[in-house]
Structure 1
Amino acid sequence: MKLAAVTLTGAALALSAAACGGDKVESGDGGGDKKTVKVGLAFDIGGRGDQSFNDAAAAGLDRAKTELNIQTEEISAKPDEPDADKEARLKLLANRGYNPIIGVGFAYTNPVTKVSKEFPNVKFLVVDADQCKVEGANVLGACFSEEQGSFLVGAAAALKSTTGTIGFIGGVNVPLIKKFEAGFAAGAKAAKPDIKILPAKYLTQPPNFDGFKNPALGTDAAKGMLDKNADVVYHAAGGAGIGVINTMGGAKKFAIGVDSDQYNQPALSGVKEFILTSMIKRVDLAVFDFVKSTSDGTFKAGTKAYNLTNDGVGYSTSGGKVDDIKAKLDAFKADIASGKITVPTAP
């Protein structure tokens, strides 16, 4: 059954409104006499509903609510906010008794490091820990080999292109997104050495992070690549990627999604036949694994890798557009998992 929603009151509400940009509290009741675990999740820019990275985290939380006895609170980030706001958000959750707490996105690495020291009895997860490094006996960092999954969709792009020209659009020019670019290019060249890869387009430069949330920027970038004869474009741009996919689909050309299986995203239902595949990043699994480990007492601090060897990254087959090349993609996957192919992490 569903319990009544919990609401913020008094000073906590004022802090939430000022520092957090909104909240959502829900409860799940798994029955029995087990103590309910209160899980706090702080989203990256865009929050639940971005059809990509944050929604992957939300899927993991939703699974935990279904399978475990937990109560949750979700809070979203604001664009271009300082670390102090993220720290305030984490402290708000900790002071309200939420344990464990999840920070979604590499920008939470430093705030979690700081706040975790003030709350040594609270377990923290950083999804996409910066440089795959975290500190503290109560902190776990989830790290992904995005370059490996991107290699596979890069190979798919090259094999399915009919113009011989493909492109990559990154949301914000940061080292994490460079991993997507590097893997994509390596996979494309491995599959078809003579493929033309347009110069990568980054929507914004830090500290401007609109490139992860403004679809109009993705639209303009995709139009530019269509003008240069690209018929397959891969985006790693979060919510801004919606503009990329809609633009490519509108031109009846292929787009490649990211993080979630974007073929199944409601906001893209009108153009899903032009979503070739998506690079799946199992943020949902990382969130669920963490919540489960804190619930059953198996939590271990440090970092946990998600890659092709444990299906922490991969590619989607929804829509059947890559069925004819699946054997080739899976052969590349096996060679990467075995170490026969080493995928670069920088362009």
Structure 2
Amino acid sequence: MRRVSKITAACIATAALAVTATACGESSTEDTGSSDNSGKLKIGMAYDVGGRGDNSFNDSAARGLDKAKAELGAETKELTAKHGETPADREARLASLAEGGFNPVIGVGFAYKDSIDKVAGKFPKTTFGLVDSVSDAKNVDSIVFTEEQGSYLAGVAAALKSKDGKVGFIGGVDLPLIKKFAAGFEQGVLETNPKASVQIQYLTTGTDLSGFGAPDKGKAAAQGMLDKGIDVIYTAAGGSGAGAIEAVAGKKGTWAIGVDSDQAKDPALSKYASSILTSVVKNVDTGVFELAKSVKDGKPLTGVHTYSLAEDGVSLTTTGDHLKDIQPKLDEAKKKIVDGQIKVRTTT
């Protein structure tokens, strides 16, 4: 079926990177599926670079997969992309899962869009999931989020917590998706404090996606902002965000804002938790699980499914109670967005 809808969501999601690739450029974290005729739900997951264990975006998708295994009895196979691979590599990864009888086959991240567009047509009986981008193929469920809305709230929080109104945004790559984060954040800051300033910086540009997996670059960018007196830094840069958070934690009186998952609860970042003001989370796990369940139920979801602020598809985490003193103002801003009084931009 083909539909456009907003779906009620729960929990939230992820963003970092820690490459675990084999010599052939991908890794399988679990392979319990086969092309038998048992009728058992078999889910194929194609992660972006970093894969399971990135403590961010991929891990959010992995939580949805784990829930499907626990509640739906699904068998799974997980493959992971590598740095510098070609579109053909992604196509081969998706095709191998479909050929293996996995259904649905899910591509995590916008980088899979072109590959899914091509492969979906070759396997019309397989349902594909595409996270963070939109495909026109009839057998694809496009799982997207209103990142700009969650980022707007992060901007409100940053403006209220900053001592001098100097805040920063670090994006992994200057792609339209990441610019949505920047646009919402900047708007939230300036509409809360018109006298504030927002410095926006991207780690890489164009087709160079290494900005999503370079903690050293994230740390250097954050340090540069801190040296300029910026005291709140929001980073949407995958694994590079860990470096930015580390830098912020090294300077007393400053705040980091995480992304995609509750990074204050990330074991790898736990020692910096007191410096993480909040995280803007995305419900990737819910999208993955709902797609899996729809296939198991024989009514596979297709079309575009937008997980928005209204359904908690995006939200701010409250770990550490750092937002307690400004929560009423955040609630007010959220209500205005949901009611349509505030239109959040998707470009700066």
TM-score, normalising length from structure 1? 0.90
| 1:120-159 C-alpha deviation (Å, 9 max, x unpaired) | 1110000001xxx312221110111100000001100110
Following superposition, the deviation at residue 327 of structure 1 comes to: 1.1
Amino acid corresponding to residue 251 of structure 1 in structure 2: K
Q: Any idea what the Cα deviations from partners look like across 1:52-78, whole Å, max 9, x if unmatched?
A: 111111111112212111011111101
Alpha carbons of structure 1 residues 100 and 19: separation in structure 2 relative to 1, 3 Å = farther
Offset from partner CA, 1:1-45 (integer Å, 9 cap, x none)? xxxxxxxxxxxxxxx9565421122559xxxxx942110100111
Q: Which amino acid aligns with 1:282?
A: N
Question: How many angstroms does 1:300 deviate by?
Answer: 2.7
Q: Distance in 1 between matches of 2:156 and 2:94?
A: 40
Identity of aligned residues (%): 49
Aligned twin of 1:299: 300
| 1:337 counterpart residue number | 338
Q: Is the 8 A contact 2:94 2:105 kept in 1?
A: yes
Instruction: State the partner residue of 1:83.
Output: 87
Equivalent runs, 1:1-347 vs 2, <5 Å: 20-25=25-30, 27=32, 35-129=39-133, 133-198=134-199, 200-252=200-252, 253-347=254-348
Structure 2 counterpart of 1:101, one-letter code: V
- Measure, in 2, the Cα distance between the counterparts of 1:259 and 1:157: 17
One-letter amino acid of the structure 2 residue matched with residue 345 of structure 1: T
Query: What one-letter code is carried by the residue in structure 1 that aligns with 2:154?
Result: V
SS at match of 2:235: strand
Between the aligned partners of 1:268 and 1:197, the Cα distance in structure 2 is 25
Q: Are the counterparts in 2 of residues 178 and 345 from structure 1 also a CA contact under 8 Å?
A: yes
Offset at residue 262 of structure 1 (A):
0.7
Q: Give the C-alpha shift of residue 80 in structure 1.
A: 2.3
Aligned residues of 2:158 and 2:189 also touching (Cα < 8 A): yes
CA–CA separation in structure 2 for the residues paired with 1:80 and 1:117: 25
Distance 2:208 2:160 in 1: 34
Instruction: Supply the distance in 1 between the matched residues of 2:285 and 2:123 (Cα, whole angstroms).
Output: 25
Q: Distance in 1 between matches of 2:240 and 2:337?
A: 30
Does the residue aligned with 1:342 lie in a helix, a strand or coil? coil
Instruction: Report the AA paired with residue 241 of structure 2.
Output: G
Q: Which has the higher contact order (CA 8 A, sep 6+)?
A: 2
Maintained 8 Å contact 2:165/2:193: no
How many residues were matched structurally? Answer: 323
Using structure 2 for the length normalisation, give the TM-score.
0.90
Distance apart, 1:245 and its partner CA: 0.6
Q: Secondary structure at the match of 1:206?
A: coil
SS at match of 1:230: coil
What one-letter code is carried by the residue in structure 2 that aligns with 1:236? Answer: A
Q: Secondary structure at the match of 2:320?
A: coil
Contact 1:116 1:139 in 2 (8 A): yes
Unpaired runs of 5+ residues, structure 1, are 1-15, 29-33
CA contact (8 A) 1:42 1:90 kept: yes
Q: Is the 8 A contact 2:149 2:314 kept in 1?
A: yes
- 1: CA distance, partners of 2:321 / 2:145: 26
Please say if residues 277 and 315 of structure 1, whose CA atoms lie closer than 8 Å, have aligned partners that are also in contact.
Answer: yes
Shift of 1:306: 0.8
* Aligned partners of 2:337 and 2:344 also within 8 Å: yes
Deviation at 1:104, TM superposition (A): 0.3
AA aligned opposite 2:282:
K
